[in-house]
Amino acid sequence: MPSFFDQRPSPLLCVLALAGIIIALGFTQVINLDIWWHLKTGEVIWRGGQIPQVDLFSYTAPGAPWTNHEWLFEVIAWALFSAGGIATLTLLKGTLTAGIAWVAFRTFRILNIPLGSALLGTFVLLIGIMDRIMCRPFLFTLFFFALFALCLHAFAAGRLRRLWFLPPLTIIWINLHGGGIIGPQLLFVYALGEAIQSRLAARGWAPAPRLDRSQRVHLWVITLLCIIACLINPWGVNIFTFPLEHLHMQAILTFTHEWFPTLDARVDDVISHILFRAMLVGTLISYLINARRVPLSHLLLTLLTCMLIAKAKRFTPQFLIINLPLMWLNLHEALGPHLSRLRRWGNRPTWLALAVVMELSLLTILYGVPASLGGRMHEPIGFGTSIYSAPTRMVDFLEENQITGNVFNEMGLGGYLIFRRWPQERVFIDGRTPVYGDRFYDRYTDFVRSSRNFQQLDDRYHFDYLVFKTIPSWDLRYVHEHLWRDPKWRLVYMQDDGIVYVRNTPRFRTIIDRFELKQNPLIEMMNRTFGKKEPAPDKQHDSISDGL
């Protein structure tokens, strides 16, 4: 009589095995800072019926051209938020995370990866992309990117006969996020690989291509239609030139975390990037040991994603989505004779893999997902926001005391200030860095390096009040020390959700008399750490990017 473990695990058990990691990564508090200006833009479009073409939200770049390639996401986000509050955005993020997991699992299976390996591969993939699972438009790009890859593999395997649905999906994708231009690139390199392999096979120099002639023609037609579909957006052909312009903004690329180089030392302790580096090496090894069986189309997909990661670390999820299934496939094919010995164990290896994944998933729910070797954790499970992303009390303080005028704010705070205070108040800067331009962004980052640079900003823009985040304030401790000692500024608010200074003028005299803090906890901490001293000399700090 066959034992229970001789049967294959049911689809329900496979879903349950991955449910924990999906919940732990997807159904979490909204802590990213840009969601707020996305919501406000969605409201502007929803109520006005037009997509803004120029900057509306700042006093430093009013009327600057704004290629808002994420407008459709913003409308959807605002509609959801209006209907059910911030919890609906968590549901959206969790649903997209589950979609990416399902598509990735189906890709493994389409490539004939055994069930247990497919479960393990999907779990590893989700860990590898966790730092990009946020309620932001590029999460749609990750989903569609994975979906297009699945469709290509299914088409080559004969599971899909036609791909006519991809151009309409491209229209949706390109208006959700400018990353939609990657879709036609996936199709192009796959079609190119199959075409070249067909020529090589005709000369006996390579195995037969995976697609026959009619399939190759169909794929070229779909590729052309998807390129045309990308043009169906409010900016037409500019959707192709905008990314190139952005990649020439060196200050923005240098100091924005997601644009760090792929192998930058500043992300050495980030678990997802440690995993990515291991997968990069593993992918190269898998191609070497399976060189005779590798389709040229697969190799070109890998080369495309290598070109992406050469630009910045923000593209590592795309690399993993494409290459983790291909690495699994190469290893499975190369080690097939050795793996065949496991057949005598029936489905027991599959059950073992399922048990491992289920245990790991359960641990992520109970204890969270470690994001770095230093102990930083992924976002906590929940449906609300944190004080880091929504400094509600600080903005309430500004509103209740009618603190208005030219504000200096950190970039991350700009989005929430826009959400709460626009159009009565405009911000100094927010997360729409291309709107402000590279030169302005460079001047902004200069304030971290030296108080003299901050003074130059003040002379130029004549700030009335200053707002900072509290959590990274230690990284800006010398800036805060300068402001604390400068008689032109008075500290009137310092809580766990933010810090507020007002200019020492008669206009704010009542507020200063009522709220000025006579002690500065940050300065006291500095004195305890370094000992009491004279004002610190201006110098460049090591954690500029963290402070931003």
Q: In whole numbers, what is the pLDDT of the chain averaged over residues?
A: 89
- Two tokens at 273? 């990037």
Three-state SS string over 473-489 comes to HHHHHHHHHHHHHCCCE
DSSP element (H, E) containing 166: helix 166-176
d(CA 96, CA 309): 23
What's the confidence (pLDDT) of residue 107?
A: 97
Instruction: Kindly tell me if the per-residue pLDDT of 344 is higher than 70.
Output: no
Between 195 and 455, the higher pLDDT residue? 195
Give the model confidence (pLDDT) of 118-166 as tens digits.
Answer: 999 999 999 999 999 999 999 999 999 999 999 999 999 999 999 999 9
d(CA 436, CA 239): 18
Of the listed ranges 256-270, 284-298, 305-319, 357-371, the least confidently predicted one is 256-270
d(CA 480, CA 474): 9
- Which candidate, 151, 223, 216, 137, places its Cα nearest to that of 184? 223
Give the model confidence (pLDDT) of 274-301 as tens digits.
Answer: 999 999 999 999 999 999 889 999 999 9
d(CA 294, CA 233): 37
d(CA 318, CA 182): 10
Question: What does the radius of gyration of the chain's CA atoms come to, in whole angstroms?
Answer: 26
* Integer CA distances (angstroms), 274 to 129, 156, 269, 277, 307, in order: 11, 32, 7, 5, 19
Three-state SS string over 40-95 comes to HHHHHHHHHCCCCCECCCECCCCCCECCCCCHHHHHHHHHHHHHHCHHHHHHHHHH
Give the model confidence (pLDDT) of 438-465 as tens digits.
Answer: 889 888 888 777 777 888 899 999 999 9
d(CA 434, CA 67): 9
Instruction: Kindly tell me if the per-residue pLDDT of 225 is higher than 70.
Output: yes
Give the model confidence (pLDDT) of 88-121 as tens digits.
Answer: 999 999 999 999 999 999 999 999 999 999 999 9
What's the confidence (pLDDT) of residue 336?
A: 72
Give yes or no for a contact between 194 and 216, defined as CB atoms under 8 angstroms apart.
yes
Residue found by looking up tokens 């590893």 in the block: 124
- Two tokens at 339? 């793996």
Residues 6+ apart with CB under 8 A from 294: 287, 330
List residues bridging with 270 in a β-sheet: 372
